[in-house]
Amino acid sequence: LRRFTPDLIHVLNPISLGLSGVAFARLHRIPLVASYHTDLPGFAQRWGWGIFSGTIARYERMIHDQAALNLCPSWSVLMELRSRGFERLKIWSRGVDRNRFSPDYRSEAMRMRLTGGSPGPLLLSVGRLSREKRLHWLRPILDRHPDCALAIVGDGPARCELERHFRGTRTVFTGMLHGDELASAYASADLFLLPAANETFGNVGLEAMNSGLPVVAAASGGPLDFVHHGRNGLLFAPENETEFASRVQAILYNPALQGQLRDGALRTAQGRSWQSVLDRLLADYEGTILRHTHTVHRHTA
């Protein structure tokens, strides 16, 4: 950092490693921007460690209080942080690479790989395989609809447990996919599932939409910023597993609704390019540097 001589430091989710960036910025009076990406207090509650939730939230606020600007991925996160006493908050939304993800990547070969040759609907999940993603909620859907296949793309600490959980169903675990393979996996599916209740945004949902997939997501956290019930996907009450399954079923066997939601998903993704998102971020950087410069000049005058 000293050799690079930054005009601004941006720390992402500064809980451990990011603290070195916070300390360097304070020591050298460099403007600091922080962004919030993981709902650790929410995870603590969900994992049965609620007694630590308040302490974690206060620790996070102490760190973010040192930033000139705190960026949030969604309105729901901004409102939650505001209720916890965080200040200087602004939205830094997420985008999608509209060239990388597209319905044009649909492939019968990829669909065969993900379904094992099953002719029925193909459900898709993409992301880190961990307990808070609640992927075990998908098993009852497969048991109720044995013609469905499920593809789980990604890796993580819960993979072995999930492979045991889905044994005996039409489920394929691909591990991590990248580039054209990932784009083809999205485009070759019929429905994207996002059952987690603590997503600060859920960028995989936007990638799925740009690939022409309706999304079923929890009505909480980041997905509320881009999943509009009945227009580009369906939402379910965050703790209602039965409602989640009924939303999936409603789309699976209703081609008219599936087509309507697919069209809505593509329209939503069109306005979410990374170019526009990052242009706004650069403008926020410039504004932060300018305000910092004025403050320093005023104090030294």
User: What's the chain's average pLDDT?
Assistant: 91
Q: Please, how many CA atoms are within 13 Å of residue 201, restricted to the half-sphere of its CB?
A: 18
DSSP 8-state class, residue 143 = H
- The pTM for the full model equals 0.78
DSSP 293: H
Query: What confidence category does residue 23 fall into, taking pLDDT thresholds of 50, 70 and 90?
Result: very high
The H helix count followed by the E strand count for the chain is 12, 10
Q: Sorting pLDDT into bands at 50, 70 and 90, what band is 275?
A: confident
Kindly list the distances between the CA atom of residue 201 and the CA atoms of 39, 46, 133, in Å, as whole numbers in the listed order: 10, 18, 13
108: Cβ contacts below 8 Å, ≥ 6 apart: 188
The pLDDT value recorded for residue 236 is 97
Instruction: Dump pLDDT digits (tens) for 211-259.
Output: 999 999 999 888 888 999 999 999 999 999 999 999 999 999 899 999 9
Contact indicator for 214, 268 with CB cutoff of 8 Å: no
Rounded to the nearest 10 degrees, the angle between the axes of helix 255-270 and helix 203-210 is: 110
State pLDDT tens for residues 131-187.
Answer: 889 999 999 999 999 999 999 999 999 999 999 999 999 999 999 999 999 999 999
Give Cα separations from 76 to 63, 133, 225 (angstroms).
20, 18, 8
Please, how many CA atoms are within 13 Å of residue 284, restricted to the half-sphere of its CB? 23
Token reading at 248: 């999936």
Assess contact for 223 and 205: CB atoms under 8 A: yes
Residue 301 has pLDDT above 60, yes or no: no
| Euclidean distance between CA atoms 35 and 19, whole angstroms | 13
* Distance from C-alpha of 93 to C-alpha of 85, rounded to nearest angstrom: 21
| Greater model confidence, 201 or 245 | 245
Among 162, 154, 94, which residue's Cα sits nearest to residue 124? 154
Could you give the residue ranges of the DSSP H alpha helices within the chain?
18-28, 40-46, 53-64, 75-83, 108-115, 139-144, 159-165, 179-187, 203-210, 241-252, 255-270, 274-300
Report residue 190's pLDDT band, with 50, 70 and 90 as the boundaries.
very high
Characterize the bridge pairing of strands 89-91 and 69-72.
parallel
Which has the minimum average pLDDT: 17-21, 66-70, 161-165, 196-200? 196-200
Please give the average per-residue pLDDT across 270-296, as a whole number: 88
